[in-house]
């Protein structure tokens, strides 16, 4: 591109911006002159328009497009329910669905339980800030970074070589033989789940700790005066008081777990029976050149996430009504 062409492009850009500014100015002028009721309506629409455009372009259109693609083959021809039938008849995909269910059952439950226990036991302790920062630190690491770190922990060396993987080194210290952890099914799936729990526990701990501190001390003191022990106060005062925070934590971690991709892709690439829906969706759409099959997996993922979101909204709405 020559200098003259570049200058011409710049002039066209400036001219386009000037026309856009003039149009916006005229619209604002006429809106200001319009009757108050009509002006209010148009002002609301003007403020909502950017968000609505982004919502349509970034969410609604891709959702509709993905739904339509899920009923097509690799050539874009309509094939009805073939992709859905394929998903529920292939043993590898059924294993993928089972793995995803195991992830969703274990990660939110263990992360929330451990985070809650940690929040309760270190509450108001001398080194509370340090201990919380230590547990929350994995949240600052990307999923890919966490996957690489734990891949070294599970590393396996053959031929009598010195083990650099922490887990295998511990096994060797106790007189055992090194194990190919990430290649051994089904334990490899649970070892991947450990990584997600390690990351999400810090999130659960911070949110629940804040919720516990928000419980009025008068309630705890009244329960203590009634002769209750620590467990009874936790069960009858603390847990009801943080119910909303518990719902938020469990649903948030559940949605993140359903969408997990980075950890699996980084550590095993979905091999050795460790694949989950998000990873298989990527594999089918971009590796196997089957956008229809990838889309039907994305559709199933959306259907699995939807009830969790609806439940979260209902609980928050009930709490708002109580307040």
Dist CA 142 CA 65 (whole Å): 30
Dist CA 286 CA 295 (whole Å): 11
CATH architecture for residues 82-143+185-322: Orthogonal Bundle (1.10)
- Mean confidence (pLDDT) of the chain: 84
The residue with greater pLDDT, 11 or 108, is: 108
Q: What angle do CA 101, 104, 193 make, to 5 degrees?
A: 100
The per-residue pLDDT for range 206-257, each reduced to its tens digit, is: 999 989 888 888 888 888 888 888 888 888 888 888 888 898 899 999 999 9
pLDDT of 193: 96
pLDDT of 105: 92
Dist CA 275 CA 146 (whole Å): 17
Q: Which residues of 10-21 are buried (b: 16+ CB within 10 A; e: fewer)?
A: eeeeeeeeeeee
Dist CA 167 CA 171 (whole Å): 6
pLDDT of 62: 86
* β-bridge mates for residue 72, sequence order: 78
Q: pLDDT band for position 110 (50/70/90)? A: very high
Polymer length in residues for the chain: 323
DSSP 260: -
The per-residue pLDDT for range 32-62, each reduced to its tens digit, is: 555 555 556 666 677 777 778 888 888 888 8
Q: Provide the residue ranges of all domains of the chain, joining segments of one domain with +.
A: 3-69, 82-143+185-322
pLDDT of 95: 94
- Residues 299-318 have a mean pLDDT of 82
The per-residue pLDDT for range 188-201, each reduced to its tens digit, is: 999 999 999 999 99
pLDDT of 30: 59
Q: CB under 8 Å to 238, separation ≥6 — which residues? A: 120, 212, 215, 220
- Residues 277-288 have a mean pLDDT of 88
Dist CA 298 CA 281 (whole Å): 6
Percentage of the chain exceeding pLDDT 70: 84
Q: Between the CA atoms of 278, 283, 284 and 290, what dihedral angle is there, to the nearest 10 degrees?
A: 130
Q: What are the CA-CA distances from residue 34 to residues 28, 40, 50, 121, 179 (Å)?
A: 10, 9, 22, 62, 76
Q: Which of 150, 185, 102 is nearest to 267 (CA)?
A: 150
The per-residue pLDDT for range 252-270, each reduced to its tens digit, is: 999 999 989 999 999 999 8
């Amino acid at each position: 591109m020559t200098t003259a062409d570049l200058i011409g492009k710049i002039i066209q850009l400036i001219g386009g911006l000037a026309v856009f500014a003039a149009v916006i100015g005229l619209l604002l002028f006429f809106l200001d002159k319009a009757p108050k009721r009509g002006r209010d309506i148009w002002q609301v629409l003007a403020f909502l328009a950017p968000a609505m455009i982004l919502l349509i372009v970034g969410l609604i259109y891709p959702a509709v497009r993905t739904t339509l693609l899920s009923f097509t083959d690799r050539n874009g021809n309509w094939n009805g329910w073939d992709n859905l039938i394929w998903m529920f008849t292939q043993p590898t995909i059924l294993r993928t669905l089972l793995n995803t269910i195991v992830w969703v059952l274990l990660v939110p439950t263990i992360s929330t339980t451990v985070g809650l226990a940690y929040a309760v036991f270190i509450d108001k302790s001398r080194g509370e800030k340090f201990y919380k920062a230590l547990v929350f630190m994995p949240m600052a690491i990307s999923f890919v970074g966490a996957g690489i770190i734990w891949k070294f922990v599970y590393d396996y060396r053959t031929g009598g070589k010195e083990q650099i993987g922490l887990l295998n080194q511990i096994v060797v210290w106790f007189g055992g033989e090194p194990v190919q952890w990430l290649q051994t099914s089904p334990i490899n799936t649970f070892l991947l789940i450990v990584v997600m729990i390690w990351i999400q526990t810090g999130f659960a701990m911070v949110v629940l700790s804040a919720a516990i501190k928000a419980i009025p001390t008068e309630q705890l003191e009244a329960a203590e005066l009634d002769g209750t022990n620590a467990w009874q106060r936790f069960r009858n005062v603390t847990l009801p008081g943080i119910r909303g925070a518990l719902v938020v934590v469990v649903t948030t971690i559940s949605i993140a777990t359903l969408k997990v991709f980075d950890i699996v892709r980084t550590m095993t690439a979905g091999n050795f029976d460790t694949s989950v829906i998000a990873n298989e969706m990527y594999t089918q759409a971009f590796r196997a050149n089957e956008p229809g099959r990838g889309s039907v997996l994305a559709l199933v993922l959306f259907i699995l996430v939807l009830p969790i979101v609806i439940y979260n909204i209902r609980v928050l709405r009930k709490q708002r009504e109580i307040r």
